[in-house]
Amino acid sequence: MIILRSLFYILIFPGALFTACFGLFLAGVDRKVVARMQHRIGPPLRQPMYDFFKLLGKETIIPHAANKIAFLGAPIIGFVSLALIMLFIPVGGLTAFSGNADMIVILYLITIPGVALIVGGSSSGSPYAGIGISREMVTMMAYELPFVLVLLAVARKAGGSELAFSMEQVANWQAANGNMLFQWSMIPAAIAMLLVVPAEVGTQPFDVAEAETEICEGPLIEYSGSALGMFKLNSAMKMFVMSGLFVSLFLGGIRTGFVVCDVIVFILLCIVVTILCMSTIHAVTARLKIEHLFKFYWTFVAGMALCSLILVWCGL
């Protein structure tokens, strides 16, 4: 029974299938909104789905310089870890698995898709990919500091005098005391987190690693067919996972009493967060340089998050 239930959680909801479908939908929303902001009609909402299926139908070329196992295995590892993260994030009050300190588990699981991208790109043997993975790794180091600070601030706020590294505890605290976002000491942290999300997903101003015009899509350069499709799916899923993480950290306290309604509210909030921090920034900015990106995250964004952490530690 417990195995069956875990199987359902992992494969269907809120694991692989739900995350994949909704992630693709969210990517469609993102593209549509960006198009509307630029006064275009834009692709249909199902466009990422078409892209994914088309890529499944294409030939997968493995260049002779590539290491076949790493080249094909990397996207799958990324996919699995993304499906797993969703199990730790409370989807509208429903957490598939919770343990103590699952925030750190999330923090680590969320680096795995990035690592998968790096290993895959690196194993393709292309020098463009070499530059791409270097940028991807620097980006990762850049956003990790503010991300960690935000998580610690939230944990401290939700825990009070004891430690609360658990997402469920954060959700319960918010259900009791109102949303984390409306605590004024947490506002800098929320802003920092809003800036961490696009870097983690790798959308427009922070997509230095996959810059298609300068380094030919970086780590993805040699990928084609279904392996590429998996990577595209991964980045769509990451969009959902990160916006979901933001929602459950800062807007997690909304309880209507019905699980279905809670889930719908969660989904709507995810869409809002995506539009706010990915589409809008995407539509109005140009790509950063890698050293500027690093500096931006370690000074401005980390500063905001640290500000929150200190306020929380002062008991505010």
Partner 1 sequence: MFNKLINDSASKSPWLYHINSGSCNGCDIELVACLTPRYDAERFGFKLAGTPRHADIVVVSGPVTSQSKERLIRTLAQVPEPKCVVSLGSCPKSGNVFKGSYSVEAPLDDYCHVDVSVAGCTPKPEAIMEGLYKAALILKEKREAMHK
Partner 2 sequence: MIQHFPVLAVMLLFLGAFCVEIFGSNNAGIRNTIAMLAATIALVLIYALIKPVMIDGEIISYWMGNWAPVSGYAIGIGYEVDALSLFFALLVVTTFWLSGVYSMSYMAKDHHLGHYYTLYLMLSGSVLGLVMTGDIFNMFVMIEIMTFASVALTAFRNENEGTLEAGFKYLVIGSMGSSFTLTGIALIYGQCHTLNMAQISAQLCTGMTPTTIMAFALIVAGFGVKSYIVPFHTPAADAYMVAPTSVSMIFSGMVNKAGVYGMIRVLYIIFRAMDKSSVQMLVVIFGAVTMFIGVTMALAQHDFKRLLAFHSISQIGYVITAIGLGTALGITGGLFHAMNHTLFKGLLFLTAGAVLYATGTTNLDKLGGLSKKMPKTCICFLIGAFSISGLPPFNGFVSKWLVYQATYTKAVETGNFVYAIVTVVALIVSVMTLASFIKVTQAVFFGQLPAELKKTQEVPASMLVPMYLMSALCVLCGIFYPIVNKYLLHPATEATLNVTNYIDKMMGDGYAAMMGAQNIEVAPVQFSYWNPIVWLILFVIIFVAAFLVITGSKSSRGQVLNPGVKYDPKYATFFSGEEELFSQVGGSDLFWGFKTDWKGYYKVLEGLHSGIVTDYAGWTVMATAIITVCMFIFMR
Distance, CA of 302 to CA of 143 (rounded, Å): 8
The secondary structure of residue 287, as a DSSP letter, is P
Q: Candidates 133-141, 152-160, 213-221, 257-265: pick the segment binding partner 1 (CB under 8 A).
A: 213-221
35 binds, among partner 2, partner 1, none (CB under 5 to 8 A by kind): partner 1
Q: How far is CA 261 from the centre of its chain?
A: 23
Question: In terms of CB distance, is 30 or 217 closer to partner 2?
Answer: 217
Residue 52, Ramachandran bin (φ over 0: left; ψ between -120 and 50: alpha; else beta): alpha
Q: Supply the angle between the helices 16-37 and 47-56 in degrees, to the nearest 10.
A: 120
Nearer to partner 1, 124 or 174 (CB): 124
Q: Give, as ranges, the residues between 279 and 298 that touch partner 1 (CB under 8 A).
A: none
Q: Which of residues 50-79 bind partner 1 (CB under 8 A)?
A: 50-54, 56-61
- Phi and psi at 91, nearest 5°, equal -90, 95
Segment holding 68, helix H or strand E: helix 68-88
Would you say 128 or 165 has its CB closer to partner 1? 128
Provide, rounded to whole angstroms, the least separation between the CB of residue 103 and partner 2: 10
The CA distances from residue 256 to 11, 86, 173, 177, in Å, are 26, 21, 16, 15
Closer residue to partner 2 in complex, CB, 77/273: 77
Read off the tokens for 208: 């230095």
For the CB of residue 34, give the shortest distance to partner 2 in the complex, in Å. 26
Q: Quick one: which segment of 36-44, 133-141, 169-177, 268-276 binds partner 1 (CB under 8 A)?
A: 36-44
How far apart are the C-alpha atoms of 127 and 14, rounded to whole Å? Answer: 38
Residue 54 binds which entry of partner 2, partner 1, none, CB below 5-8 Å type-dependent: partner 1
CB of residue 128 to partner 1, shortest distance in Å: 8
Contact residues for partner 1 (CB under 8 A)? 31, 35, 38-44, 47, 49-54, 56-61, 211-213, 215-217, 220-225, 228
